[in-house]
């Protein structure tokens, strides 16, 4: 009954429910939140575009936007193109700086829209399938089920339907933000950035909705530190069986395949595997599913020909998937309104008829918008296609590769097309002589964009040639990934809250982002392991979490097999797909709320201020390609969490760089004494770009320093910072004097050496704020800091 009612839910309405029956229409207004009486509503429930502007401006004063455009021009209206170089203004009066900020907002909105669309689609389907009153139960150890929703909207969702309100809110706000990017609207680069920060905050809300909805409905692990280790890598797929490959981010179609296999007892006869975040999420549902890898492996996986059926859902799906699938006679099923691929809509057709059309080549693929139908069609088609496609499941032969290489005209366009400047042409030259080692090396480093193939004048199948050259790695790609566990338990937060806030656990380092690394993903493992050995907490999500699994030590173990999966010193936590980035942010919010007992409900500024000044958390986004990653990082920035990007981060045009050489920029209040004093550049940047892993490691140690560190905590953090700086950059950090507040902060084992350094710098001890804040104490009501 509930399902039939929900089928009639008019999705065009927002916060109100509209129930339609025969001859009946009933509106039910928004139901007031009566149940949360323990905590008073804070100052900013459902903040509108300008509600947190003051907070944003505080951040932007400390961390002014730094712009590196990717173009001199603005091409967004018909009067242009306008040249904005050399101080010129466009036809609308915009200058280059404001234009960059405008694009920053656009980018943030694009990313947030992708996640909000994902959340809406997932939520409505799950409400329809499991009912609006399906409980939000994240397990025994989680009471603060939705820290971000509580923080921003001031509500506690208890049932699936309660998640509609956050999505409604995100959608409404997005319209206002996007409208500001139209010609003639916002004028100030700082206001554009404030709006971009707002979009980032919304993004994290959308992510939280999506992951909570899928965890509670699809039986994913509930904050389980011992979530199963799953097979990972292209080499784990049994290509002798029919193969269904799922690509994208929305797990519903893949879940439908898993469900159909279970229902029909075909689990052992058909391989289900995935690329990108759908893969992470299907493994959370069905640990037998094979996770092929990150976005960087998408083109390789498709071109390898192993897939009989390719299911695409949404986000991060290559635009040429259909074209590539046709080359290897795979069929494609598009499953989401965001990606229809021009395919005929077979949603309401008889599944068997659709299978027939696909197998006989009547249609190259189908659009099937009902996930429940996708499973049946995909499995039936894969079973029929597998044998007839056997010839396409093989790599090219070595002799073929050499013959192809001989066609190379050595024009070097492949090198020039490669974003990472990989020496493809040099590899081809050697391959002509039968030496494939160089191409094998390139396979390891390749980010799988395929631009080399596009530019190749002789149309060589470079990706397939690289796969053959890297055959050993290709076939040996068999690893173990700890599948996504979802959120952090409240009890884990209680255990680590104190040592994190006092600095005794030196930091929490979160790996997120896309796999377009400047070098191999192995660097990610090296960075993570350096910090794991030093008892930092490592958190990973999305493609980064997958890349971390792609390397084994001498004993053949991946990082997930070597280190525990709990949120504690020396643990590595794979939260799951991109949507679980919300739990990384949520963990920081929970520390403020559960450990420090800061009122959480609609109390955004106070909680963010707490995180900025006390929680030594930093994100490393070593690759970044999708606008979604920009939205996520911008959302983390608004919460006071700094981000370190790899080189590709510079291409999103905007950073938030602090200036440690300007002491006046680091003024801070002590809430206890209400005194304003000179602080320290901690954290120095809110977002920055580094070129190498060595710089990233040292920067991460530095950005974990916080004004609230106790002397013991600061000693620990500085001892790592100094040691890592010496190890990776070759010298004691030149800014050490800025982070030593008193002699008590100096690590004992190197005290003499540090004192000498400080003496040369003319260092003097300075006051330490007991209760550091960048909010004006005069405006802070005590009830915002302590529960009444």
Partner 1 sequence: MEDRVVPWQIGNIAYSTHAKVLYPPEMARVINRAKRPLIVVGSGLTEKLELNLFDYVIELSKTRNLPVVASGNTYKEFIARNFKPVAILGILELINLIKDQNWRGFDGKGQYDVLILLGIFPLLANQALFAAKHFASIITISIDQHYEPNATFSFSNSTVEEWKENLNELCANLKK
Nearer to partner 1, 46 or 695 (CB): 695
Nearer to partner 1, 130 or 192 (CB): 192
- Shortest Å distance, C-beta 53 to partner 1: 24
x-marked contacts with partner 1 along 397-436 as a string, rule CB under 8 A? ----------------x--xx-x-x---------------
Nearer to partner 1, 661 or 788 (CB): 661
Q: Is 572 in contact with 324 (CB distance < 8 Å)?
A: no
Other beta carbons less than 10 A from residue 561's beta carbon: 16
- Shortest Å distance, C-beta 766 to partner 1: 22
Distance of CA 170 to the CA centre of its chain: 18
Q: Which tokens in the block code for residue 431?
A: 């391959």
Nearer to partner 1, 273 or 626 (CB): 626
Q: How far apart are CA 154 and CA 36, in angstroms?
A: 9
- Using CB under 8 A, pick the residue from 731, 762, 778, 781 that binds partner 1: 731
- Using CB under 8 A, pick the residue from 49, 51, 71, 369 that binds partner 1: 71
Q: Is 696 in contact with 644 (CB distance < 8 Å)?
A: yes
Does 650 contact partner 1 by CB under 8 A?
A: yes
Nearer to partner 1, 419 or 787 (CB): 419
Contacts of 55 by beta carbon, 8 Å cutoff, 6+ apart: 604, 605, 608, 609, 638
40-69: contacts with partner 1 (CB under 8 A) = 66-69
Does 624 contact partner 1 by CB under 8 A?
A: no
Other beta carbons less than 10 A from residue 775's beta carbon: 20
Does 518 contact partner 1 by CB under 8 A?
A: yes
Does 520 contact partner 1 by CB under 8 A?
A: no
- Shortest Å distance, C-beta 85 to partner 1: 5
Does 89 contact partner 1 by CB under 8 A?
A: no
x-marked contacts with partner 1 along 451-470 as a string, rule CB under 8 A? x---x---------------
DSSP, collapsed to helix, strand or coil, labels residue 388 as: helix
- Shortest Å distance, C-beta 706 to partner 1: 20
**Strand (E) positions, 256-348?**
271-275, 290-293, 309-312, 331-334
Q: How many residues are given for the chain? A: 788
- Shortest Å distance, C-beta 320 to partner 1: 17
Asked whether the CA dihedral 470, 474, 480, 482 is positive or negative, the reply is: positive
Q: How far apart are CA 679 and CA 247, in angstroms?
A: 48
Q: How far apart are CA 129 and CA 214, in angstroms?
A: 12
- Using CB under 8 A, pick the residue from 174, 223, 573, 690 that binds partner 1: 690
Does 74 contact partner 1 by CB under 8 A?
A: no
Does 728 contact partner 1 by CB under 8 A?
A: yes
- The closest alpha carbon to 374, from 252, 241, 243, belongs to 252
Does 83 contact partner 1 by CB under 8 A?
A: yes
Does 526 contact partner 1 by CB under 8 A?
A: no
Q: How far apart are CA 45 and CA 155, in angstroms?
A: 9
- The closest alpha carbon to 316, from 513, 465, 25, belongs to 513
- The closest alpha carbon to 313, from 324, 298, 327, belongs to 298
Q: Is 365 in contact with 389 (CB distance < 8 Å)?
A: no
- Shortest Å distance, C-beta 727 to partner 1: 9
Does 732 contact partner 1 by CB under 8 A?
A: no
Residue position matching structure tokens 């229409």: 25
Nearer to partner 1, 118 or 654 (CB): 654
- Shortest Å distance, C-beta 63 to partner 1: 11
Q: Is 481 in contact with 230 (CB distance < 8 Å)?
A: yes
- Using CB under 8 A, pick the residue from 23, 29, 342, 730 that binds partner 1: 730
Which H, E and C letters describe 429-444, residue by residue? HHHHCCCCHHHHHHHH
Nearer to partner 1, 301 or 414 (CB): 414
Nearer to partner 1, 450 or 713 (CB): 450
Instruction: Name the one range near partner 1 by CB under 8 A: 70-78, 315-323, 459-467, 550-558.
Output: 70-78
Nearer to partner 1, 153 or 689 (CB): 689
DSSP, collapsed to helix, strand or coil, labels residue 104 as: helix
Q: Is the peptide bond before 325 cis (omega within 30 degrees of 0)?
A: no
Does 86 contact partner 1 by CB under 8 A?
A: yes
- Using CB under 8 A, pick the residue from 85, 182, 240, 759 that binds partner 1: 85
Q: Which tokens in the block code for residue 12?
A: 């065009």
Q: Please give the helix or strand (H or E) that residue 481 lies within, else none.
A: strand 479-482
Q: Which tokens in the block code for residue 680?
A: 């320290």
- Shortest Å distance, C-beta 429 to partner 1: 14
- Shortest Å distance, C-beta 296 to partner 1: 16
Nearer to partner 1, 586 or 647 (CB): 647
Nearer to partner 1, 445 or 491 (CB): 445
Q: Which tokens in the block code for residue 779?
A: 């405006």
How many chain residues interact with partner 1 (CB under 8 A)? Answer: 44
- Shortest Å distance, C-beta 166 to partner 1: 35
Q: How far is CA 386 from CA 226, 297, 328, 331, in A?
A: 35, 22, 12, 11
Q: What angle do CA 416, 417, 421 make, to 5 degrees?
A: 60
Contacts of 498 by beta carbon, 8 Å cutoff, 6+ apart: 504, 595
- Shortest Å distance, C-beta 186 to partner 1: 20
Q: Which tokens in the block code for residue 631?
A: 């939205």
- Using CB under 8 A, pick the residue from 356, 695, 737, 771 that binds partner 1: 695
Does 664 contact partner 1 by CB under 8 A?
A: no
Report, in this order, helix, strand and coil percent for the chain, each rounded to 5: 50, 10, 40
Residue position matching structure tokens 């030590």: 553
Does 73 contact partner 1 by CB under 8 A?
A: yes
Does 700 contact partner 1 by CB under 8 A?
A: no
Does 7 contact partner 1 by CB under 8 A?
A: no
* Residues that bind partner 1 in the complex, under the rule CB under 8 A: 66-73, 83-86, 96-97, 413, 416-417, 419, 421, 451, 455, 518, 647-648, 650-651, 655, 657, 659, 661, 688-695, 699, 728-731, 734
């Amino acid at each position: 009954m509930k399902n039939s009612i929900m089928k009639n839910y008019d999705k065009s309405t927002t916060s109100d429910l509209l129930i339609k029956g025969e001859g009946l229409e009933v509106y039910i207004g928004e139901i007031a939140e009566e149940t949360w009486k323990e905590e008073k509503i804070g100052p900013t429930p459902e903040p509108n575009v300008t509600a947190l502007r003051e907070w944003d401006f505080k951040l932007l004063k400390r961390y002014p936007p730094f712009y590196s455009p990717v173009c001199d021009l603005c091409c967004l209206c018909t009067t242009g193109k306008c040249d904005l170089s050399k101080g010129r203004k466009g036809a609308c009066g915009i200058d280059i700086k404001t234009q960059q900020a405008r694009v920053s907002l656009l980018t943030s909105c694009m990313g947030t829209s992708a996640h909000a669309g994902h959340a809406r689609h997932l939520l409505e389907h799950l409400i329809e399938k499991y009912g609006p009153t399906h409980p939000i139960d994240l397990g025994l150890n989680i009471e603060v089920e939705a820290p971000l929703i509580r923080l921003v909207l001031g509500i506690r969702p208890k049932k699936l339907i309660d998640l509609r309100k956050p999505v409604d809110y995100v959608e409404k706000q997005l319209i206002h933000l996007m409208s500001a990017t139209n010609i003639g609207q916002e004028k100030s680069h700082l206001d554009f950035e404030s709006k971009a920060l707002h979009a980032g905050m919304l993004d994290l809300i959308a992510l939280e909705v999506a992951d909570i909805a899928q965890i509670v409905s699809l039986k994913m692990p509930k904050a389980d530190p011992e979530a199963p280790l799953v097979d990972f890598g292209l080499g784990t797929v049994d290509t002798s069986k029919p193969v269904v490959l799922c690509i994208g981010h929305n797990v519903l179609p893949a879940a439908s395949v898993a469900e159909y296999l279970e229902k029909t007892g075909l689990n052992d006869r058909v391989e289900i595997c995935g690329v990108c975040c759908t893969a992470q999420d299907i493994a959370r549902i069905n640990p037998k599913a094979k996770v092929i890898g990150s976005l960087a492996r998408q083109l390789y996986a498709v071109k390898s020909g192993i897939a009989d059926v390719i299911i695409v859902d949404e986000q991060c799906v290559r635009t040429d998937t259909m074209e590539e699938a046709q080359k290897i006679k795979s069929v494609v099923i598009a499953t989401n309104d965001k990606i229809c691929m021009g395919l005929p809509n077979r949603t309401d057709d008889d599944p068997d008829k659709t299978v027939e059309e696909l197998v006989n080549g009547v249609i190259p693929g189908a659009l099937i918008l009902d996930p429940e139908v996708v499973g049946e069609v995909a499995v039936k088609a894969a079973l029929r296609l597998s044998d007839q496609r056997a010839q396409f499941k093989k790599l090219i032969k070595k002799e073929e590769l050499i013959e192809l290489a001989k066609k190379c005209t050595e024009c070097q366009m492949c090198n020039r097309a490669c974003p990472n400047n990989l020496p493809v042409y040099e590899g081809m030259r050697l391959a002509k002589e039968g030496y494939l080692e160089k191409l094998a090396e390139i396979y390891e480093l390749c980010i799988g964009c395929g631009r080399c193939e596009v530019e190749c004048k002789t149309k060589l199948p470079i990706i397939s040639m690289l796969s053959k050259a890297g055959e050993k790695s290709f076939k040996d790609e068999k690893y173990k990934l700890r599948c996504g566990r979802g959120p952090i338990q409240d009890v884990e937060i209680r255990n680590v809250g104190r040592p994190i806030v006092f600095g005794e656990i030196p930091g929490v380092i979160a790996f997120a982002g896309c796999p377009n690394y400047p070098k191999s993903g192995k660097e990610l493992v090296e960075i993570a392991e350096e910090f794991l050995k030093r008892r930092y907490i490592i958190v990973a999500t999305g493609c980064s979490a997958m890349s971390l699994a792609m390397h084994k030590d001498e004993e053949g173990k991946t990082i997930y097999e070597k280190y525990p999966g709990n949120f504690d010193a020396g643990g590595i936590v794979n939260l799951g797909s991109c949507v679980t980035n919300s739990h990384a942010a949520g963990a920081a919010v929970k520390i403020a709320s559960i450990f420090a007992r800061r009122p959480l409900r609609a109390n955004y500024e106070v909680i963010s201020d707490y995180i900025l000044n006390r929680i030594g958390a930093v994100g490393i986004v070593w690759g970044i390609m999708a606008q979604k990653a920009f939205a996520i990082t911008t959302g983390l920035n608004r919460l006071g969490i700094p981000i370190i990007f790899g080189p590709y981060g510079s291409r999103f045009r905007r950073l938030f760089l602090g200036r440690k050489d300007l002491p006046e920029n680091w003024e801070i209040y002590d809430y206890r004494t209400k005194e304003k004093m000179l602080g320290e550049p901690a954290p120095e940047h809110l977002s920055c770009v580094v070129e190498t892993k060595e710089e990233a490691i040292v920067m991460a140690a530095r950005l974990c320093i916080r004004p609230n560190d106790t002397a013991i905590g600061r000693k620990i953090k500085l001892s790592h910072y100094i040691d890592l700086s010496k190890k990776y950059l070759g010298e004691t950090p030149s800014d050490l004097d800025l982070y030593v507040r008193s002699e008590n902060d100096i690590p004992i084992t190197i005290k003499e050496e540090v004192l000498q350094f400080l003496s040369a710098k003319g260092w003097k001890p300075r006051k330490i704020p007991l209760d550091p804040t960048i909010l004006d104490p005069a405006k802070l009501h005590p009830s915002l800091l302590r529960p009444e």
